[in-house]
Amino acid sequence: MKSYNVDKIRNIALVGHGGCGKTMVAEAMLYQTKAVDRFGQVDDGTSVMDHDAEEIKRKISINTSLAPVEFEGHKINLLDTPGFFDFVGEVKAGVRVADAGLVVVCAVGGVEVGTEKVWAYLDERDLPRIVFINKMDRENANFHQVYEALKAKFGNKLIPVQIPIGAAENFKGIVDVITGKAYIDGKEAEVPAELKDQVEEYYHLLLEAAAETDDELLTKYLEGEELTKEEVLSGFRKGTMSNQIVPVMCGSALKNIGIDALMKKVVEALPSPADVKPEIVTNPQNNEETELKADPNGPTAALVFKTMADPFVGKLTLFRVYSGKVKSDSSLWNASQNQEERIGQLFLIKGKTQIPVAELAAGDLGAVAKLQVTKTNDTLCTKGAPYLLKKVDFPTPKFTLAVVAKNKGDEDKISGGLSRLEDEDPTLKVEKDTTTKEMLISGLGDLHLEVTISKLHKKFGAQVELKDPKIPYKETIKGKVQVEGKHKKQSGGRGQYGHVWLELEPLPPGGNFEFVDKIFGGAVPRQYIPAVEKGVRETMEEGVLAGYPVVDVKVTLYDGSYHSVDSSEMAFKIAASMAFKKGFMDANPILLEPIMNVTVTVPEEYMGDIIGDLNKKRGRILGMDPDQGYQIIRAHVPLSEMFKYAIDLRSITQGRGEFEMEFDHYEEVPANQAEAIIAQSKAEAAKE
């Protein structure tokens, strides 16, 4: 593939609800431009974009796939993003490095939750976009109904620049509203008589919108003068580039109808990297911000937006060059890690195919293998002119399960594999819970974790099961007691003798543990007092009530006795443990559970359902704040009720709700639930 000037490049993110046909639109573009010999199909696993084994198996996009197509002297870099909510991190990465969006909408399903979400992601970056109403060949396809729904949801800036000829099995072509020409089977044809009024109506909408982009055109239009086709096209391009106009187009990716016209509009109406606002970059040495234009002759700056782990090829790093050039077999400075990075062979990426290139210039997308320190969201730049580009805003993982090895001895393989997958996916988090000793994996939903575990097996040969995590309960007391512990053993030879009196009392929350030595007159010799404290601490770690760590207790050693021959550190340690266990059970012991600070953001119509659900989860509502048609609900909810909340919230709000959660404090578990937890803990201990 030849190199292109920055003004001839288009970086387009294909976004939309799951199942709208984004991948097939990309496949049709690849086939139409002869970038591939065969029209790839998602359903039969021959798709160029959905090449991952999990994608082929499930027939959905899981990763953002990259492929360049050459069209009429331009290079269009397609970023085909997933539509399922569990893989929204991939969408965010694709949108971050794109200059425009292609919003694919199903002609049958219309505006769906995913459409609303991706629209908001494009709005966050104020990216221009085209809407493509796909699947016009499907039964019950209705262009006008979908267009009206789009306009009702996103406003009057959506204007059809095409209308379909026929629908469902009768769909055979399109009419271009701007030129007033019809195209059937890729050839120019007469506009059907029944569509002429519709074409006229949409042309006037477009005329008005185009005129409003320019003061001279608006004056001419308001004075009743007719605008030339060139003026309309100029205003249309200006309006689309500034996101004042959103062209609505239609077609069928499967039948390859409307794809050529779509690519023409991408080239004509969407911006090149040279047309968009300069990137705001930060100098890490002094934190000063500056603007960076897409200039191939400027200082080098590239953002890593995706990392792919492959056990055979190694790590493949995908990046976008924002300024300057990146060359094969060179060195760049990783400003995020503050280290030099050796750059090997550069590639263009077409699905799973890697095409070697000598260099990548400003505005282009590509990849390099086997970087040592570079991760997703790092900036690569010239050492003498370090810059940090704005990172991809990845969502935080919200759905957590525990990982259990199916085969003994696989722990290292599992740990290494999950670590590699975590590098690949910033929306995945793997950690060891120090309290429960479990390995926890967190993601954006059940499908996300299911796919991760499947990848772990296929790529790294490790098989695991996922189960609900243990809750890191803690134990404490509410009462004050004095208790005796005596360990006396005589069975031939030297005996064992340790004897202590302890006082146990509660500390305020967060006090954790305090040990006080109040021994007078040598009732317990100095050398054995550390053993007493050790015996107490070890027992606290193991727990007394249900096997959970004990916190917020003050222990005072105030009396005891010893034997000049039989006493030892071990004997006093055992005596202290015995005393603590007995005293703990007599001091009104309770279980504590972690309480989370939860913030839920939902459209107003779901507020009642959400509050009802949080109440069922033993939540305490702290407050509510309206925010542009949404309600922000703040609550304290026990962690034990929140593990599956990502799924519950999605179900209640059809995917429109979001939530954040962080640990706040520990609280006493209600008595009836505490009994059940203690019983379950004892049953599990008996099994072991």
- Any bridge partners for residue 599, and if so which? 634, 660
CA separation, residue 242 to residues 14, 47, 95, 157, 210 (Å): 19, 34, 17, 11, 12
Same domain for 125 and 239, yes or no, is yes
Q: What integer pLDDT is reported at residue 92 of this predicted model?
A: 96
- Any bridge partners for residue 496, and if so which? 489
H and E: helices and strands count for the chain: 16, 36
Q: Which of 424, 421, 391 is nearest to 316 (CA)?
A: 424
pLDDT in tens, 527-559: 999 999 999 999 999 999 998 999 999 999 999
Q: Which of 505, 515, 504, 588 is nearest to 545 (CA)?
A: 588
**Last residue within a domain, chosen from 587, 617, 649:** 587
Q: Which of 52, 125, 117 is nearest to 86 (CA)?
A: 117
8 A C-beta contact, residue 241 and residue 271: yes
Same domain for 439 and 488, yes or no, is no
Q: What is the CA radius of gyration of the chain?
A: 33
8 A C-beta contact, residue 247 and residue 161: yes
Kindly tell me if the per-residue pLDDT of 298 is higher than 60: yes
- Any bridge partners for residue 475, and if so which? 550, 591
Residue type, 99: D
Mean pLDDT, range 43-58, rounded to an integer: 82
Residue 340: which residues within 8 A CB-CB, separation 6 or more?
Answer: 331, 332, 333, 334, 383
In eight-state DSSP terms, residue 92 is: H
In eight-state DSSP terms, residue 437 is: -
Q: What integer pLDDT is reported at residue 460 of this predicted model?
A: 86
8 A C-beta contact, residue 210 and residue 218: no
Same domain for 97 and 147, yes or no, is yes
8 A C-beta contact, residue 620 and residue 446: no
User: Does residue 390 lie in a domain region?
Assistant: no
User: Does residue 58 lie in a domain region?
Assistant: yes
Same domain for 522 and 662, yes or no, is no
- Lookup: tokens for 68: 């360049």
Same domain for 104 and 188, yes or no, is yes
Kindly tell me if the per-residue pLDDT of 193 is higher than 70: yes
pLDDT in tens, 484-530: 999 998 766 678 999 999 999 999 998 689 999 998 888 999 999 99
Residue 438: its H or E element = none
Mean pLDDT, range 634-646, rounded to an integer: 94
8 A C-beta contact, residue 194 and residue 168: no
User: Does residue 680 lie in a domain region?
Assistant: no
Same domain for 79 and 215, yes or no, is yes
Mean pLDDT, range 69-90, rounded to an integer: 95
Residue type, 668: E
Same domain for 202 and 122, yes or no, is yes
For the CA atoms of 134, 137, 138, 139, what is the dihedral angle to 10 degrees?
140
Q: What is the CATH number for 485? A: 3.30.230.10
| Confidence label for 434 from pLDDT (cuts 50, 70 and 90) | confident
- Lookup: tokens for 508: 């305020």
C-alpha 70: how far from chain center: 31
pLDDT in tens, 121-164: 999 999 999 999 999 999 999 999 999 999 999 999 999 999 99
Mean pLDDT, range 186-198, rounded to an integer: 90
| Sheet containing strand 365-369, strands side by side | 339-343, 330-334, 379-381, 301-310, 314-323, 365-369, 346-350, 353-357
Count: domains in the chain? 5
For the CA atoms of 48, 53, 54, 57, what is the dihedral angle to 10 degrees?
90
User: Does residue 38 lie in a domain region?
Assistant: yes
DSSP alpha helices (H): ranges in 391-544? Answer: 411-424, 446-460, 529-542
Same domain for 155 and 77, yes or no, is yes
User: Does residue 628 lie in a domain region?
Assistant: yes
> Which of 110-119, 181-190, 204-213 reaches the highest mean pLDDT?
110-119
User: Does residue 274 lie in a domain region?
Assistant: no
Pairing of strands 339-343, 330-334: antiparallel
Q: What integer pLDDT is reported at residue 312 of this predicted model?
A: 63
Q: What integer pLDDT is reported at residue 518 of this predicted model?
A: 92
User: Does residue 687 lie in a domain region?
Assistant: no
Burial of 94 (0-12, 13-18, 19+ CB in 10 A): buried
Kindly tell me if the per-residue pLDDT of 39 is higher than 80: yes
Q: What integer pLDDT is reported at residue 492 of this predicted model?
A: 65
Q: What integer pLDDT is reported at residue 89 of this predicted model?
A: 95
Q: What is the pTM of this model?
A: 0.88
Kindly tell me if the per-residue pLDDT of 311 is higher than 60: no
8 A C-beta contact, residue 11 and residue 365: yes
User: Does residue 686 lie in a domain region?
Assistant: no
In eight-state DSSP terms, residue 587 is: S
Tokens 């019950």 map to which residue?
A: 140
- Phi and psi angles of residue 19, each rounded to the nearest 5 degrees, phi first: 90, 5
For residue 667, what are the domain limits?
A: 593-673
Q: What is the CATH number for 631? A: 3.30.70.240
**Last residue within a domain, chosen from 208, 237, 269:** 269
Same domain for 347 and 239, yes or no, is no
Same domain for 455 and 522, yes or no, is no
Residue type, 117: K
DSSP 3-state assignment of 182? strand
**Last residue within a domain, chosen from 467, 489, 524:** 467
Percent of the chain exceeding pLDDT 70 equals 99
Q: What integer pLDDT is reported at residue 637 of this predicted model?
A: 97
Kindly tell me if the per-residue pLDDT of 188 is higher than 70: yes
Same domain for 284 and 337, yes or no, is yes
Percent of the chain exceeding pLDDT 90 equals 75
Q: What integer pLDDT is reported at residue 558 of this predicted model?
A: 94
Same domain for 241 and 104, yes or no, is yes
Q: What integer pLDDT is reported at residue 313 of this predicted model?
A: 65
Using CA atoms, how far apart are residues 640 and 677, in angstroms rounded to an integer? 11
Residue 181: its H or E element = strand 181-184
